[in-house]
Amino acid sequence: MSDHDYAQTQRWRGTTILSVRKGSDVVIAGDGQVSMGHTVLKNNARKLRRLGRENNIIAGFAGATADAFTLFERLESKLEAHPGQLTRACVELAKDWRTDKYLRRLEALMAVCDKSTSLILTGTGDVVEPQDGIIGIGSGGNYALAAARAPYDQDLSAGDIALRSIRIAAGICVYTNDNIIVEKL
């Protein structure tokens, strides 16, 4: 095994973040597993954070912890510069993320929501608002996304859908566990 191959197998993995917007509710849920290679290092990590002056924004992060803190801090400063304008703050962060020499190396995804907007942010400069109000990111994100779409039209709350969906993802994705935190606006 080459040094590059070994380094790739030892990468930090293990996040499933799911946001569900239904009616007037929006939630972001995240699992607690942090893995390196094939080893679980921690099972109760907190990958969600409330942001903004009034804690009226929730963000979830898929990527390395140091990258998360860096991006959360940058987003907070953009929110201070553009109060009440989540989309504009996220676009400004995405611009920096794409063009800044240091930030450009961060391989990560963020799900960010306020009462009216849900966004996915990427290091390639993308700021996407999903059509259906459901976001799934991280290693188990697509599993959770599919699991959330299936019961969406049933009489379930956004929180119930998110919780059930991450549990389904945890049963499929080895980098996801069922130690789930849910934040609601």
Catalytically active residues are: 15
Contacts of 161 (CB under 8 A, 6+ apart): 20, 22, 148, 151, 152
